[in-house]
Amino acid sequence: MSKPHMTINIEEKQFECKTCGKRFKTSRTLRGHDSRMHDSSKKIHRCNVCEKGFVTISELKQHLLNHYEEKTYRCNVCEKQYRTLYSLKSHTRTHTGEKPYGCDICDKRFTKSCNAKSHMLINTGEKPYRCDICDKRFTSSGNAKSHMLIHTGEKRFFCKVCEKTFRTSWEMRQHMVVHFDEKPYKCEFCDKSFKLQNNAKSHMKLHTIKKTHRCDLCKKLFRFASDLRQHVYVHLDEKPYKCDFCEKSFNRPSHAKKHMKLHTIKKTHRCDLCKKLFRFASDLRQHVDVHLDEKPYKCDFCEKSFNHPGNAKKHMKLHTSKTHRS
């Protein structure tokens, strides 16, 4: 006799940790949480200040920052401060333009050796780091560790303003800017300002790097070879980037990442005009343009403009499909 099919509500967290009371959606994530957080035999790395134990060295290092907040190393150019001399030296290269680490396969150079190593693995296709739970492989140990947190459900980093929790410190820092209106990072070529330094750097590349990588199918030009490689999938039936939670696949990694957030992030950003809810503040900002006469999103091929980036992309596909057919 076949067993009855069990339907599990994705919002229900029915598995409770007997030690701390935290609840999880699956027994597997509960076991992972219990092993990492409460199994004292695995917490072999101890803090020399408060004696708290941790499973990994990286967790201990992150914890130690709570005891030692001082940033004693200061940049002579921008006055930014760092906790370690290594971090200061890496930062200084952003001012000098020095890139001492090169790729053995292509001519690309980097300010950090770890970035050069990760880049070379992308060129060779090698993925030496494996998830212990699902066997998925990665080019860097950091990506593998971040991925494994999806299985365990752990979110060790929290926002000190709203107490929202995050899997990684990078996600937490990205989130923190929503609480502040300041945009301290300015473009050197135009009047735009940004909350995040990485966003400012990415924007400035639009001013300095020419589009030299051409798609053979639709003749569209791109600034970076990586953008061209992702674009080519638009013309193919291949969808190599899979969702970790359902059976959907995508032809771009960015589309897969955005889709996976639909499984985990609730809609908390509300439009004051129509009360529609959104998962991300960026989606809300784009939506507001629908209520205005502004059309900031322009077509790359003609003079048309749109009030939403999705509408602009949909329109541009009309140009590329015509070119491909001809």
> So what's the pLDDT on residue 67?
63
- Per-block average pLDDT, block size 10, for the chain (326 residues)? 37 70 75 69 70 72 66 81 81 85 83 80 79 81 78 76 75 75 80 81 82 87 82 77 85 81 80 82 76 75 81 82 56
Domain tally, the chain: 2
In a shared domain, residues 80 and 59? no
**What is the residue type of 166?**
F
Q: Which of 124, 153, 179 is the last residue of a domain?
A: 179
78 and 56 co-located in one domain: no
Three-point CA angle 301, 303, 306, nearest 5°:
95
Residues 56 and 79 in one domain: no
Query: Is this prediction's pTM over 0.75?
Result: no
Give me the half-sphere count of Cα atoms (radius 13 Å) on the Cβ side of residue 248.
15
- Of 64, 90, 105, which residue constitutes the final position of a domain? 64
Whole-number pLDDT of residue 66: 65
Tell me: do 79 and 168 sit in the same domain. yes
pLDDT at 41: 64
pLDDT of the residue at 294: 67
> Are 50 and 119 found together in one domain?
no
CB 195 within 8 A of CB 185: yes
Query: Does residue 95 share a domain with residue 41?
Result: no
Give the residue numbers spanning the domain of 53.
15-64
Q: Same domain for 81 and 175?
A: yes
Same domain, 78 and 153: yes
Which pLDDT does position 1 carry in this prediction? 40
Closest-CA residue to 100 (of 86, 115, 78)? 115
CATH code, domain carrying 138: 3.30.160.60
Domain for residue 276, yes or no? no
3-class state of residue 275 by DSSP: coil
| Cβ-defined contacts of 55-64 (< 8 Å, 24+) | 58/145, 59/156, 62/156, 62/169
Angle at 141 between CA 136 and CA 145, to 5 degrees: 70
3-state secondary structure of 257: helix
Torsion of CA 34, 37, 40, 45, to 10 degrees: 150
Kind plus residue range of the DSSP H or E element containing 89: helix 85-96
We report the CATH number of the domain holding residue 27 as 3.30.160
pLDDT of 68: 58
Any idea which residue has 């639009």 for tokens?
Answer: 206
